Structure 1
Amino acid sequence: MQKIIVTENPSKWNLELLDARVVSAEDYLNSEEWKHQKHAKVINLCGSYQYQSTGYYVSMLADARGQKVIPSTATMQDCKFHHIIRQDTVDFEEVILPILDKVDEQEIEFGIYYGFTENPTLGKIGALLFNLFNMPLLKVKFQKKDKWHLKWLRPVNLKDLDQEETNQMINCLTLFLSGKKVVKKNFSRKKYDLAILVNPDEETPPSDAKALQKFIKAADKIGFTTEMITKTDFGKISSFDALFIRETTNVNHHTFRFARKAEYEGLAVIDDPSSILKCTNKVYLQELMTENGIPMPKACIVSKNQKVKPELEYPFIIKQPDGSFSKGVKKVSTPEEYQLYLKDFLQTSDLAIIQEFMPTDFDWRVGMLGGQAIYVCKYYMARNHWQIVDWKSKGAGREGKSETIALSEAPPALIKVAQKATKLIGQGLYGVDIKQKGNKYYVIEVNDNPSIDAGVEDKQGKNLIYEQIMQHLMNIVSNK
């Protein structure tokens, strides 16, 4: 990939580094040579990133030309909103705080150039903040009160660096440009790059380690070079062609920011941000399905100000709007339980869902991809429990057994209901949870991030399910 360093006055800076071309902003904006470099990486070192400045237009046109640029115009805008920056850093306190706790002072200020810091002790923080905000030159200040917190983070203009800082910046840029991963000689790099977002510490991830390895193998077969990434790799998103999220999603969460960033950068994305928004809130799903005639158990929405008991017979179900993996769901058997659970749920949301209790031996799960079923499972209830996972058990949740059904043997009416439900959401990967009562099927919810574990959902099709998902992503990438 051609590397282009753009600055207003190239002759002023000793930036002839490695195989990078150093060009003036004027040449980059106007010369035909740079307009058609589709696979270029642009490092924008202009003096200002203000709206409609030369630096702003360099990044905007790089994006329009299909080039990878640091920083992007979206990054420039995000850096204006300090509340967003502070919130993002709060999400990573488990990384930041242990490092800063080793500092003797009550506040610390330092520069971050391409993710590198002068003090090696702070290197992990530098890499994290660079990955989060993807701004080439940053200065940051942390302050300690009851605990360390971010006081400010701001981009630095090249012209504001003194000679010592400039030399440090050039050394860091050299390291950044030469930071290629070691690739085994027998490894053939593919045309497209796929990132799989995971959380190694997640208690109930949507895919186990064996399934993730099968995804990687399928991606290689389809034509992707795959890299496993975590939440600290936010700044790397623009270097990929596709993102596959295999971490439990939520809107007020870094998974949603990854999906939104990936979509903005033009990547093929599963789960796309629209699907996350729609599927992770049960209030929205209830309204959407009901309004479009999708059969669901009887239900109603209750609010903080609603004192009247819902018109459902005991027992019934109460749900948090954004619960997952059977969490945030309670069976209510008495008025006292109802008031207790409602008060608890409304601590974090102004609304909750009350739903008819529909006891069954198992729940159906239909895996959907691009509007077509790719697997059908029965998840049986945990022993002596009314859910498929019993979270009251000591330690990890106790699950019921599962049974995977061949698509050809699945009830056609079941597949039809799942297709109707996901048509309202999108064309991505979904898991539709369905209850069966007699010959009728009722949608419980649609999951944007369904479980796919080795030996469970893949039991009938073996490796086919992994290849189908990777091919779906490849089709999106190829059509862009």
Structure 2
Amino acid sequence: MRKIVVVDHSKDWDEAIEDTEVVDAQTYLTDTSYTDIRNARVFNLCRSYRYQSAGYYVSLLAEARGHKAIPSVTTMQDLKSPTIVRAITVEIEELIQKSLAGLKSKSFTLSMYFGQNVAAKYEKLCKALHDHFQSPLLRAQFVYKDSWVLQSISAIPINEVPAAHHRYLKQFAKSYFARHRFTGARLSRKTYDLAILVDPQEKAPPSNQKAIQHFVEAAESLGFYTELITKDDYRRLGEFDALFIRETTAVNHHTYRFARKAFADGLIVIDDPASILRCTNKVYLAELLTKAKVRIPKTMIIHKDNRDMVEAELGLPCVLKKPDSSFSQGVVKAKDQESLIKELDEMLADSELIIGQEYTPTDFDWRIGVLDKQPLYACKYYMAKGHWQIYNWNGKKKQDEEGADEIVPFEQVPFHVLHTALKAANLIGDGLYGVDLKEIDGKAYVIEVNDNPSIDAGCEDKILKKELYISIIKSIKKRIDHLKNIQSND
């Protein structure tokens, strides 16, 4: 497997290590030769893993390309989660107390370089923490409150490693890169009861109130105790066996934290955190679909160095998308050069990378609902009145905000639409997805894959009716039963 070390600046890593190449982040993100590599492990030593920074995108696009990233985007999110940190503390409580027993101070900082510390006596603790948070450079902060507690854990920017530790850093790196396997600890799982996460104040939720009631009725008919929860119930997740998210998801949002905590606590989760990470970022989807040769409108990943090529590449008008846009928000049409410059300035100020696509007007978009890698429903969503999108959030009248919808039996869905939708959704996982496509000249083009698709009473359920809700709850129940069987056989 090809080993690639990615840094922000070449000066950040000048050590030659056998069978390992060093590349700067901009090259890895934009040079197409790295897109075509099939088997690679990417060691991300960028100075920051902040959301939508270059370091964040290195790991995100590595995953889209089929490369193994250390740290993964999931690990980056875990490092920011006090809940995950607390869960790990409980799991390695005895080791923490034993390792730090001789300390006289009330606080302690443990620096880990490639899973090791300069003091050999902390070897086991370093290994345990590194197994749970696979990241090359880590800093753990402990405080003493009757016993030692892991207060936080974070990545160490490579340029902040003390000069006195550089020889250890290089020594540990050589040992680390010589390994053939990089495995991590799995969070323990428990098990049962259904929580449905909703936001009663959300303007455009993925399910209307009547649909939520149908979900509750379907779950109770299958023997579930079901409770609607909100963001205020975060600490109660451990009371349930499954979490079903019916609130619009985002990475820097409580929905992702709920999904990640539920997963860590052993709950079955729809939407699972990996699907949220993958679907909510349009840059990831563009890279993933392109690599899998799934048709998409002519697309360009835009950054500060190629922004002047957008007009020549995509023409005008063109569509610009924020990486984490949803429900047509954060998606704009640049009609002329002036609006193109303005929108690029605004979007690139927030994110290192954004998406540009050729403008492909159609009367409607297809939406294929997919569950467990099988089609669940098919809809046509028509454009909002006088608008180029399904949603027009600037509509003067309430009835002008959203276009009409039409549920379509599978036998009336063109084969290429259904086939393309399944291929796209199955690249993400086996959860619940909504694939949006445009049909142009007898060909299907994927616009996006949604991890949290709309399921409204009176729309998506027009054909299956209550069976649609039962199918989804049955899938959750099947996953719980499967997990229980695995645990009973352990």
TM-score calculated relative to the size of structure 2: 0.60
CA distance in 2, matches of 1:394, 1:410: 34
| Residue equivalent to 1:471 | 474
Q: Percent identity?
A: 49
CA distance in 2, matches of 1:201, 1:195: 18
| Residue equivalent to 1:196 | 196
CA distance in 2, matches of 1:374, 1:423: 13
Identify if the C-alpha distance between structure 1 residues 246 and 297 changes in structure 2 by more than 3 Å, giving closer, same or farther: same
| Residue equivalent to 1:371 | 373
| Residue equivalent to 2:296 | 296
| Residue equivalent to 2:152 | 81
- Deviations along 1:43-87, whole A, 9 cap, x unmatched? xxx9x9575449x9xxx9xxxxxxxxxxxxxxx999612999xxx
CA distance in 1, matches of 2:149, 2:253: 17
**Of the candidates 436, 458, 462, which is equivalent to residue 461 of structure 2?**
458
SS of alignment partner, residue 201 of structure 1: coil
Correspondence 1:348 to 2:350:
yes
| Residue equivalent to 1:235 | 235
CA distance in 1, matches of 2:329, 2:307: 25
**Of the candidates 357, 360, 364, which is equivalent to residue 358 of structure 1?**
360
**Which amino acid in structure 1 is aligned with residue 376 of structure 2?**
I
Identify if the C-alpha distance between structure 1 residues 218 and 458 changes in structure 2 by more than 3 Å, giving closer, same or farther: same
Alignment of 1:401-440 (within 5 A): 401-440=404-443
- Deviations along 1:417-468, whole A, 9 cap, x unmatched? 1110011100000000000002100000000000111000001110111001
- Deviations along 1:6-59, whole A, 9 cap, x unmatched? xxxxxxxxxxxxxxxxxxxxxxxxxxxxxxxxxxxxxxxx9x9575449x9xxx
SS of alignment partner, residue 399 of structure 1: coil
Shift of 1:306: 3.2
CA distance in 1, matches of 2:396, 2:149: 43
CA distance in 2, matches of 1:395, 1:255: 30
CA distance in 2, matches of 1:268, 1:395: 40
| Residue equivalent to 1:3 | none
The 8 Å contact of residues 368 and 431 in structure 1, kept in 2 or not, is answered as yes
- Deviations along 1:339-395, whole A, 9 cap, x unmatched? 111111122211111101111000000000000111000000011111011112147
**Which moves more between the two structures, 330-339 or 305-314?**
305-314
**Which amino acid in structure 2 is aligned with residue 260 of structure 1?**
R
| Residue equivalent to 2:271 | 271
**Which amino acid in structure 1 is aligned with residue 321 of structure 2?**
K
Alignment of 1:106-145 (within 5 A): none
Identify if the C-alpha distance between structure 1 residues 319 and 307 changes in structure 2 by more than 3 Å, giving closer, same or farther: closer
| Residue equivalent to 1:213 | 213
Gaps of 5+ in 2: 1-89, 101-127, 129-146, 156-190, 484-490
Shift of 1:201: 1.1
Q: Larger Rg: 1 or 2?
A: 1
SS of alignment partner, residue 252 of structure 1: coil
TM-score calculated relative to the size of structure 1: 0.61
The 8 Å contact of residues 307 and 344 in structure 2, kept in 1 or not, is answered as no
CA distance in 1, matches of 2:378, 2:326: 20
The 8 Å contact of residues 192 and 223 in structure 1, kept in 2 or not, is answered as no
| Residue equivalent to 1:390 | 392
**Alpha-carbon RMSD:** 2.5
CA distance in 1, matches of 2:232, 2:241: 18
The 8 Å contact of residues 374 and 407 in structure 1, kept in 2 or not, is answered as no
